[in-house]
Structure 1
Amino acid sequence: MRTLLARLRREEKGAAAVEFVLILIPMVMLTLGAINLSLMVYTVATLNYAAEDAARCLSVKKTTCTTASVNTYAQARYTGPGAATFTGTSAACGNRVVGTVDYVFTTGLTSTIIPLSSQACYPLT
């Protein structure tokens, strides 16, 4: 029995496969995390664009855009994942539109909901 254990201790076949498996799991998680982080940055950018465009529409195209229809107008311009909601109000800076969306950040093992928001203000003309 001792000779078997001593022989197994000296054996090095399969060490590369074990090391590969130990490195594979963190690398897959890092790759999925990087992809999700990139998608989250894209979501913030499209949310910001939709809010800016809706605020501009409220100030410039008063017959087309109203505070009641700003959600529909901004959702047509939002192309990110998830369902975003937009609200338009009058503020000291002009017409302000606030957009919010819940982003689901998935790493393969866990999913975390991250609330994202963007606001834009366009002066009255």
Structure 2
Amino acid sequence: MLNQIKSLYGDRQGTTAVEFAIVAPVFIAMLLGTLALCVALFLIGSLHFAVEDGARCASVKSTICTDAASTVAYTQTRYFGPNVSPNFVYAAAACGNSVTGSISYSMDVGFRTFVIPISATSCFP
């Protein structure tokens, strides 16, 4: 009986499986977190691009962006982010033509859903 216990103690088979079971959840969580961060950064970049292009259109392209409604419609076509409908607002400000966009981005992490408000403003003279 003592020899069997000694032989089990020296047996190294299965250590790789145990190490993988310890490391795999952390690795998978980091991988999914990185992907979620990339999607959120793409959303922010796309929102900034849309409001900047909308403000520029209101100032420069007077045949396309003739009023507030056409400027907002043009800005909505310039948003290429995830399938979330942003809210755009046009205003003639002291700095020039201003376009503001806002989104409530819902990020589901499995056990909880986080709602992140994201906004961007651009003013073009």
Indicate whether the TM-score tops 0.5: yes
Higher relative contact order (CA 8 A, sep 6+): 1
1:80 aligns with 2:60: no
What do the CA deviations read for 1:34-66 (whole angstroms, capped 9, x no partner)? 111111111111111110111111112334211
State TM-score, norm by structure 1: 0.81
Could you say what the CA RMSD is over the residues aligned between the two structures, in angstroms? 2.5
> In the alignment, what sits opposite 2:102?
100
Measure the CA separation in 2 of the matches of 1:107 and 1:23.
19
Measure the CA separation in 2 of the matches of 1:19 and 1:109.
25
Alignment of 1:40-79 (within 5 A): 40-65=40-65, 66-79=67-80
Measure the CA separation in 2 of the matches of 1:69 and 1:6.
81
SS in 1 for 2:121: strand
Gaps of 5+ in 2: none
- The percent identity for this pair of structures is 37
Measure the CA separation in 2 of the matches of 1:35 and 1:77.
23
| Conserved 8 A contact 1:36-1:106 | no
Gaps of 5+ in 1: none
